[in-house]
Amino acid sequence: MPTSIGHALAGAAAAWSVDLVPGRRAWRTAPPAASWYRRAGNGLTLVCVALAAVPDADLLFRLHRTFSHGIGGVIVVGVLAGAIAALTNRPAVRIASMCAAAYGTHLLLDWLAVDLMPPYGIQAFWPFSDAWYISRWIVFRQIERARLFSAATLRLNALAVAQELVVLAPMVIVIWLVRVKALARLAAQMSRSDHPAE
């Protein structure tokens, strides 16, 4: 299973990818001089980062990789996020898709990871199926949660993080750069339509 670092990166990538979908997204723009936090999409991007990591909170309840790692979790997150967005007069479909996509990346990354503890993989289609799924393509390493500060565990987990960065960081950087360009173009269009005579 990937680390929370890998999951967090995927959550940010999901939020920024949904920003590339045309539609009502002017509120996601920020001037180039704005803080990194605003340019990265404020608290909503942070929420997506958290949503991408939160399914592993099931470790606390000894129900790891079961219902929180299924499509049912993605649907619940999407519906809740859409309802909160609608109640606060924000674009419900966009916010629902963003949050559901961020949560969904957790399932995708876990599916693509080594799992040495049977039953292998995740209950990806819970509650529609109790079956366990794991990909044949292994992209991410197994991390170790026992004896966290032993040299062997630190080395194993450092390698896992390094592999996650090698796979995910280039994707995240490309999505970020494309998003910066797309939102800057959108901001320029908006300011032209605000000042048509200029």
Contact positions vs Zn ion (CB under 5 A) = 55-56, 110
3-class SS at 105?
Answer: helix
Q: Rounded to the nearest whole angstrom, what is the least distance from the CB of residue 140 to Zn ion in the complex?
A: 11
- Tell which residue, 82, 75, 166, 85, has the closest CA to residue 124: 75
Task: Pick the closer one to Zn ion by CB: 19 or 110.
Answer: 110
- Residue nearer to Zn ion on the CB measure, 30 or 52: 52
Cβ 8 vs Cβ 54: under 8 Å: no
Q: Which C-beta is closer to Zn ion: that of 40 or that of 140? A: 140
In our burial notation (b when 16+ CB lie closer than 10 A, e otherwise), range 94-131 reads bbbbbbbbbbbbbbbbbbbbebeeeeebbbbebeeeee
Query: How many whole angstroms separate alpha carbon 55 and alpha carbon 62?
Result: 12
By the 10 Å C-beta count (0-12 exposed, 13-18 middle, 19+ buried), 150 is classed as exposed
Measured from the CB of residue 110, what is the shortest distance to Zn ion in angstroms?
Answer: 4
Judged by CB, which is closer to Zn ion: 19, or 56? Answer: 56
Pick 3 or 29: Cβ nearer Zn ion: 3
Q: Report the nearest approach of Zn ion to the CB of residue 97 (Å).
A: 21
